Amino acid sequence: MKRRGFLSAPVALAAAAATVPVDNRVYAYGDGIPLGPAGYASLMQQLAPRIAPDNYSLGGVVEEVEAKMAVVLGKEAAVWLPTGTLANHLAVRLLAQPGRRVLVPEQSHLYNDSGDCAQTLSGLTLVPLAEGRSTYRLEEAEAAANRAQLGRVMTPVSALVVETPVRRQAGQQFDFEAMRKLSAWAVRRKIGRHLDGARLFIECAYTGRTAQDYTALFDTVYVSMYKYFNAPSGAILAGPKALMADLYHTRRMFGGGLPGAWPFAAVSLHYVDGFPERMRGAAETGEKVISALERNGNFVVERIPGGTNIFRLKPIGANAPAYQGRLEQAGISAHTPAGDTFILQVNETWNRASAAEIVARFERGIS
């Protein structure tokens, strides 16, 4: 499953999509609302009178969203960055000083999807743990740290990373109790702690925990501002004021000080307020839909153990591509199936219809 595959609905189905009003359509792909150029243009026209432009990502609405997210995440300060790749990189760069070794989940974005940025650009050594799993345990972290500390050349671990939920594991959560134990151990060992919480607010909707329940366990946290806060791009890195104070210099050094970040910041700020409540509502609707589909003999549903907003759906006795077209006409947009199975995601567009109506749409696609 590739992340970018979720970002656009099949073009071939665009004509069929017109049969259901856009504001009533349920998108069963992506973590947020697929606005598109027309949607962004309309939204920016609404927001424009209230937008204070920034200057090279300083001041204006960028400063507003930084202040807002620092409070929401329970941190002293926050810095806007253009991408999550840069946010994770700069976090471990800061926390690892003056050391070099960083413990990371083997399935994490930082280890798999960032082009060895930490190694190439900051001279860090990433030590992967928990191959093929979402959670690495304290015993694994301690063994890796001890090997580094007690080797013939001492190269102590100076930072660790936790990612939750884990995209490469279909949105599976990092075990919270394991996270708490790792955090307490890292504090004792004076090891910096970073949370890749790109989709943290989605996980909160499924666990009932607040964002600060997670972020309190870490020095720094990254949250995506485009995945479900719907900005065209952007990320927030939050942490102690002393650590964040001069980060804008490093941001610019790495080419991330955009001359004007206000379009991104304004959109994300617009969607931040009320998102936890909206996502909880969508998650509740999604769970009702999944339960109903599990009882329906026309479908096979596969839930993700310890998962969040992703599930798999197989229509029985139906040609999957043809079913996708009928589903589109019924008012549900889904990504192209993998063989005979759809990988579906719950997002806040699932608030646009009742659970009963969404189930009926899935059933109309079968008939």
pLDDT at 6 over 50: no
Query: What sign does the CA torsion over 112, 114, 238, 41 have?
Result: negative
Closest Cα to residue 30, out of 306, 162, 226?
Answer: 226
CATH assignment of the domain containing 9: 3.90.1150.10
* N-terminal to C-terminal alpha carbon distance within the chain: 28
Q: For 6-10, 49-53, 114-118, 347-351, which range has the lowest pLDDT when averaged over its residues? A: 6-10
* Same-domain pairing of 108 and 252: yes
* Same-domain pairing of 285 and 311: yes
* Same-domain pairing of 197 and 110: yes
Please classify residue 219 by burial: count the beta carbons closer than 10 Å to its beta carbon, then call 0-12 exposed, 13-18 middle and 19+ buried. Answer: buried
* Same-domain pairing of 237 and 341: no
* Same-domain pairing of 160 and 217: yes
* Same-domain pairing of 330 and 314: yes
Please list the residues that pair with 78 across neighbouring strands: 238
Average pLDDT of the residues in 78-100: 96
Average pLDDT of the residues in 324-345: 96
| Within-domain flag for 38 | no
For residue 151, what pLDDT band results from cuts at 50, 70 and 90? confident
Residue 257 to residues 100, 230, 238, Cα–Cα distance (Å): 26, 20, 17
Please classify residue 142 by burial: count the beta carbons closer than 10 Å to its beta carbon, then call 0-12 exposed, 13-18 middle and 19+ buried. Answer: middle
* Same-domain pairing of 288 and 171: no
Q: Please report how the helices 36-47 and 262-272 are oriented relative to each other, as an axis angle in degrees rounded to 10.
A: 80
Q: Is the peptide bond before 165 cis (omega within 30 degrees of 0)?
A: yes
Task: Domain count for the chain, please give it.
Answer: 2
pLDDT at residue 150 in the model: 86
| Within-domain flag for 259 | yes
* Separation between Cα atoms, residue 363 and residue 69, nearest integer Å: 41
* Same-domain pairing of 68 and 151: yes
- Domain finish residue from 272, 304, 327: 272
Average pLDDT of the residues in 311-327: 96
* Same-domain pairing of 19 and 107: no
* Same-domain pairing of 329 and 346: yes
| Within-domain flag for 70 | yes
* Domain range enclosing 295: 3-31+275-366
- Domain finish residue from 272, 304, 319: 272
| Within-domain flag for 243 | yes
pLDDT, tens digit (0-9, with 9 covering 90-100), for 253-290 = 999 999 999 999 999 999 999 999 999 999 999 999 99
- Name the more confident of 194 and 366: 194
For residue 158, what pLDDT band results from cuts at 50, 70 and 90? very high
For residue 330, what pLDDT band results from cuts at 50, 70 and 90? very high
CATH assignment of the domain containing 106: 3.40.640.10
| Within-domain flag for 44 | no
| Within-domain flag for 257 | yes
Which distant-in-sequence residues (6+ apart) come within 8 Å of 83 by Cβ? 233, 234, 235, 256
Q: For 20-24, 57-61, 235-239, 318-322, which range has the lowest pLDDT when averaged over its residues? A: 20-24
- Domain finish residue from 219, 244, 272: 272
For residue 79, what pLDDT band results from cuts at 50, 70 and 90? very high
pLDDT at residue 2 in the model: 42
- The residue to which tokens 């890195």 are assigned: 237
pLDDT at residue 71 in the model: 98
DSSP 26-83: EE-SSSS---HHHHHHHHHHHHGGG----BTTBSHHHHHHHHHHHHHHT-SEEEEES-
* Same-domain pairing of 156 and 185: yes
Average pLDDT of the chain, as a whole number: 93
* Separation between Cα atoms, residue 49 and residue 39, nearest integer Å: 17
| Within-domain flag for 37 | no
* Separation between Cα atoms, residue 146 and residue 191, nearest integer Å: 13
| Within-domain flag for 222 | yes
* Same-domain pairing of 351 and 229: no
